[in-house]
Amino acid sequence: MELLAATLASLALGTPALAQGTAFMSTPLETASSLSAADIQSVSPALGRYAKEDVADGLWQRPQLSRRDRSLVTVAILIARNQTLDLLHYINLALDSGVTPRELSETITHLAFYAGWPNAMTAIAVTKDIFTQRKIGPDQLPAASPQLMPLNEQAEATRVASVQRLLGTAAPGLDQYTTDPLFKDVWLRPDLSPRDRSLVTITSLMANGQVAQLAGHLNRALDNGLTQEQAGEVVTQIAFYAGWPNAFSAGPVVAEVFKGRSN
Amino acid sequence: MELLAATLASLALGTPALAQGTAFMSTPLETASSLSAADIQSVSPALGRYAKEDVADGLWQRPQLSRRDRSLVTVAILIARNQTLDLLHYINLALDSGVTPRELSETITHLAFYAGWPNAMTAIAVTKDIFTQRKIGPDQLPAASPQLMPLNEQAEATRVASVQRLLGTAAPGLDQYTTDPLFKDVWLRPDLSPRDRSLVTITSLMANGQVAQLAGHLNRALDNGLTQEQAGEVVTQIAFYAGWPNAFSAGPVVAEVFKGRSN
Amino acid sequence: MELLAATLASLALGTPALAQGTAFMSTPLETASSLSAADIQSVSPALGRYAKEDVADGLWQRPQLSRRDRSLVTVAILIARNQTLDLLHYINLALDSGVTPRELSETITHLAFYAGWPNAMTAIAVTKDIFTQRKIGPDQLPAASPQLMPLNEQAEATRVASVQRLLGTAAPGLDQYTTDPLFKDVWLRPDLSPRDRSLVTITSLMANGQVAQLAGHLNRALDNGLTQEQAGEVVTQIAFYAGWPNAFSAGPVVAEVFKGRSN
């Protein structure tokens, strides 16, 4: 027990901002993790170096994605892959970088559908304590049943037809819940923009190597206002936070979608 | 440490039945999680609403799968994806819904092979405490070496030939262990029916997006007595508990298998 | 809280070598897990039997991979799949089986790129305590910036051209970081042999079902000195530790690569 307790303690203590009770001030990027630099170096001096040179001073300074977007993408990757250790660090970073509590709440809600209900529950378990610490209460959260944005009837009809072609009558429950709540409720909730919803959706797909659904959602993302430069940079963020193979599975699909839109 | 300890505490306390020492009575479905409704709403009021409207009062009331089958499928999803937080909740729900300790034990054994040995070890770590709490002892568990069911020699010959075509001589160890223990021992153990073994197998494949093996195992499942309506409903359960993309990767394969059998 | 604390305690206590403070002596293989035989049998008597008959006395005794290689492969599987429970056990086993702290450190560094940064952070959190317990200090770790091995300019040019074909201009950041640090730094670090780097790379790909990148990396592995017999045996190890479906997705790719090289 002692070893594991010590590990858990070090994980929490490894989050400097939280340990110092200043989580709402500024979350440092230098270790790219909830772990401290000393912890990382005690096992991998190389990763200690890459954390600074390539991640904090490199990747996170690239202008293709704002720090706000990049932290939202990173939180989406961690939720999609159910990785609790660094979620603590990156949720704080996101809140420090301009992602509002409303947007974070909606991101978790959205990913319950795209990454699975239990992933969202884990994210809630971590976020709940961060919200308590930052004194973020119900007044800063989205309503359970807000006024929805209008449905694009034509896009919805296209989507329904496409699902019909894919599934036929094999899974009528999936048809039903994809229409409502997913497309007639979740996607129309106003506290996360369609562009951001698309951003966390394509991020989640790439993070888990789910390239079969990527082209469709990437086209939707570009229609919703994400730029090609931003979408390409998500692939780069995926490489670091979900591993090179997932980036290299997503990259060719992204290139193909870009080509398709330039014709 | 305090933050993480608090999170861990809240996770456990979030399981009302266990916290009240009445786990053997009835596990409520209202939050669809080990988390409490209050915890979920403190981060995502929307998921608080969906948990009730769409999951507890919707999905879980659908007649296409019995509550017993649905809870077995959900446990299989969580083991396949190694998600400990909600496993606590859903193992209790399964035991409250007619899945016997013997069947649960065999499900974990079976998924050691289909989802990986370490996933089974995590499931055992969680289940062990539940068994202690419910006073489930060795007399309620399957024997390590029971009398096996008879082997279908013809189906086994077909399977061996198919593996031979796929692998040739590339991985002789895989050939060997697939025959014994997997097909000449695990699949013949009597304390989980072939239909239920197939059910947790196809669930595990869908939960991890492993569609390459799905058609073969779905045909076996239908041969073993799973109905097409039940198989289609597993896809719906996958959508909620393993995310929409995994459901949409599985759905077309399921539709294709159904079509193949109607000809 | 009590239940979860008890579970965590049992996980740690289930690691006999650590509990007895003799982690540096010998890590037993009998349970193939951090869990004790009694814990496994309290839920699955069958897995208690398979752990001994098929895993400890079977798989781990096969001569196609040395115990050192097999433990390195198993650690790579667990890091790639972010499975902390058994990582404790298998990192100790690896260190007891001839994997040096330097090689373990480099494996974690390497898998930060191939399995994702957060997976490496989790591995560091576990390994840090093991290093403390075994009194493994900075003098036994690789330098952050060692003298690199020479680059194979021709292979690198081929690789760059292949990436160019795949990605075009879709993700310039990915191009850049794949060249440096991944291929002009990480792969040239001297404290893990190119053969071992390839071994953990193909293991990570197979463990997560990422077969799209497998053929290229397997060819590189064979060029780097891994034998076909060893590569085939990795597939067998994958079956037990990452599940049969991942082994059966990898197997045909491996067979195809072998065939391609015999022509």
Residue A26 pLDDT level (bands cut at 50, 70, 90)? low
- With cut-offs at 50, 70 and 90, classify the pLDDT of residue A247: very high
Give chain B's mean pLDDT: 91
C-beta neighbour count of B215 within 10 angstroms: 16
Q: What SS3 string covers A185-199?
A: CHHHCCCCCHHHHHH
| DSSP secondary structure of A147-171 | PPPPP-HHHHHHHHHHHHHHHTTS-
Assign A21 a pLDDT band (cuts: 50, 70, 90). very low
Cβ separation A33–C168 shorter than 8 A: no
Query: Of A5-19, A72-86, C188-202, which range is least confident?
Result: A5-19
Read off the pLDDT of residues B164-187 as tens digits, 9 standing for 90 and up: 999 999 999 999 999 999 999 999
Q: What are the tens digits of pLDDT across the range C161-170?
A: 999 999 999 9
Contact across the interface for B116 and C246, Cβ inside 8 Å: yes
Q: A19 or A76: which carries more pLDDT confidence?
A: A76
CA atoms of C109 and C161, how far apart (whole Å)? 26
- Cα gap A228→A232, rounded to integer Å: 6
Do B4 and A12 touch, CB atoms closer than 8 A?
Answer: yes
Average pLDDT over residues B212-222: 97
Q: Which two tokens stand for residue B221?
A: 């499942």
| Whole-number Cα distances in Å, A88 to A16, A79, B3 | 11, 11, 10
* pLDDT surpassing 50 at residue B260: yes
Q: Which chain B residue lies closest to A164 (C-alpha atoms)?
A: B252
pLDDT tens per residue, range C41-96: 999 999 999 999 999 999 999 999 999 999 999 999 999 999 999 999 999 999 99
Whole-number pLDDT of residue B26: 58
Instruction: Please indicate if any CB of chain C lies within 8 Å of the CB of B4.
Output: no
Chains near A (3 or more Cβ pairs under 8 Å)? B, C
d(Cα A99, Cα A104) in Å, to the nearest integer? 7
User: What's the pLDDT at A22?
Assistant: 37
For residue A24, give both structure tokens: 């709402």
> What percent of chain A has a predicted confidence (pLDDT) above 70?
90
**What pLDDT, on a 0 to 100 scale, did the predictor assign at position B29?**
80
Chain C residues closer than 8 Å to B123 by CB: 43
Which of these, B83, B107, B98, B72, lies nearest to B33 by C-alpha position? Answer: B83
| Per-residue confidence (pLDDT) for residue C26, from 0 to 100 | 57
Residue C1 pLDDT greater than 50, yes or no: no
Is C255 part of the contact surface with chain B (CB cutoff 8 Å)?
yes
Average pLDDT over residues B187-197: 98
Size of interface B-C (CB pairs under 8 A): 191
Is the pLDDT at A8 greater than 60, yes or no?
no
Cβ-based contacts of C61 with chain B (< 8 Å): none
**Dist CA B254 CA C123 (whole Å):** 37
Q: What is the pLDDT of residues A79-99, one digit of tens each?
A: 999 999 999 999 999 999 999
Which pLDDT score is estimated for A230?
98
CA distances from C71 to A154, C29, C99 (A): 56, 11, 8
Q: What is the rounded CA–CA span in Å between residue A137 and residue A140?
A: 6
Task: Name all domains of chain C by residue range, CATH numbers in brackets.
Answer: 11-136+193-262 (1.20.1290.10)
Asked if B243 and A115 come within 8 Å (Cβ–Cβ), the reply is: yes
Least confident of A9-18, A119-128, B210-219: A9-18
What's the DSSP call for residue A14? T
Q: Is the pLDDT of residue C9 over 80?
A: no
Best of A18, A82, A95, A128 to disrupt the B interface by mutation (most B CBs within 10 Å)? A128
Percent of chain C with pLDDT over 70: 90
Question: What percent of chain C is predicted at pLDDT more than 90?
Answer: 87
Compute the nearest-CA separation of B21 from chain C (Å).
11
DSSP B174-237: HHHHIIIIIITTGGG-TTS-HHHHHHHHHHHHHHTT-GGGHHHHHHHHHHTT--HHHHHHHHHH
